[in-house]
Amino acid sequence: MYYFEKISARQITLLALGLWIFSLFFSGLVLYYEQQHISGFEILLTGWLSPLDGNFSWYANIFFLLCVFYLFIGRTPKICALIAALLSLDTFRYSMLTMNEGGHSTPIYGYGWGAIIWLISICAIFIAIDLKQNELKKATGEQKGNKIFLIIGFILLVSVVGLSIYHAHNDRVIANKSETKRLQTIAFKRGAVCSVEGPFVYQPLVNFSGTLEVVVDEKVSHAAYPFSEIEQLLSWGIPKIRVGSVDYFYESSGGVHEVSSVQSYKRPDVTLYVNEIHLQSIRAVLVENTKTRVIFDQVWTWENHQVNTRYFCPEYFSYPKSDQQPRKLLMQALGLYSDFNKE
């Protein structure tokens, strides 16, 4: 604490303001939607609308700047600093961001380093207030105060830096490959990090050329895609898809692929069972009927969000590319996946 007495309140105030400005150049929030980064500048310009999402952390900026102003004119804005700190903590309650006028929302994936620098700048204001208070008392010959604001500022500063380092390190230690890639440019994830690696098939079929029956629970919503999309499954290279009592397949005519269908009679070679527990999980089980052998039994757990979103652990895509799940898992299991044939 003695070290702070060698520094003036004006210097700390300038440092706090400099950190606040510096934070604007970095990502403040990172969204699940396309891993979109929102910079400090964007948040500063549009964050005043955050009460529509039930959050008030943006308004900490107003009280922070008021604190800076009051410190420069020789006042000690204690209440102003406390309000700024309390409002800034509301950042960690911010879970959903409204994307457009239609009301479409997306979950917040994590926090950028800009958010951490911004919080540090608010902590520094407490130290500046304590120093200013002591400077004013020294000028009038009064006895120095109890340094309560210096202690609060120091505790907040250590907490923000310490917890940020802890979560940043811990997230990266336990994250799977997909999460690790996302974490490269952010401080830490808002919710739990997915540590479950993507599915892997140990005993796949070889160059499957038969009929894949797809049985999707009628009550599913998210799991219906991509498994209920017959043409999408055929486009992946699966020879024949059975739904109900009808077999679907591609038929070429004049160089054009068209979906044809015939009534099915014989037993399908493999059956894919898909069901979903709403807001909890999606499960897909592939069974080789001739040997009554389970080729894979995979569960994707729904990440806990407030709206009907499609984010799972491990990754699950409704319209997956060749190297994305669940397409990759299914094609590997059928022996039709090739590392050299990616989109």
Across residues 139-155, what is the average pLDDT?
Answer: 80
* Nearest one of 242, 211, 238 to 228, comparing CA atoms: 242
Distance, CA of 105 to CA of 99 (rounded, Å): 5
Distance, CA of 55 to CA of 47 (rounded, Å): 9
Residue 343 pLDDT greater than 50, yes or no: no
pTM: 0.84
Provide the pLDDT confidence category of residue 341 given band limits of 50, 70 and 90: very low
Cis omega before residue 239 (within 30°)?
Answer: no
Q: Which residue has the tokens 């120095």?
A: 144
Provide the pLDDT confidence category of residue 147 given band limits of 50, 70 and 90: confident
Provide the pLDDT confidence category of residue 340 given band limits of 50, 70 and 90: very low
CA 69 vs CA 23, 63, 76, 291, 294: distances in Å: 19, 10, 10, 77, 69
96 vs 24, which has greater pLDDT? 24
What pLDDT is recorded for position 103? 64
Continuous H helices in the chain: 9-23, 40-46, 60-72, 78-89, 113-140, 148-174, 177-183, 224-227, 230-235, 327-333
Provide the pLDDT confidence category of residue 256 given band limits of 50, 70 and 90: confident
pLDDT cut 90: percent of the chain above it: 64
Tokens of 328: 């990759």
Across residues 15-23, what is the average pLDDT?
Answer: 97
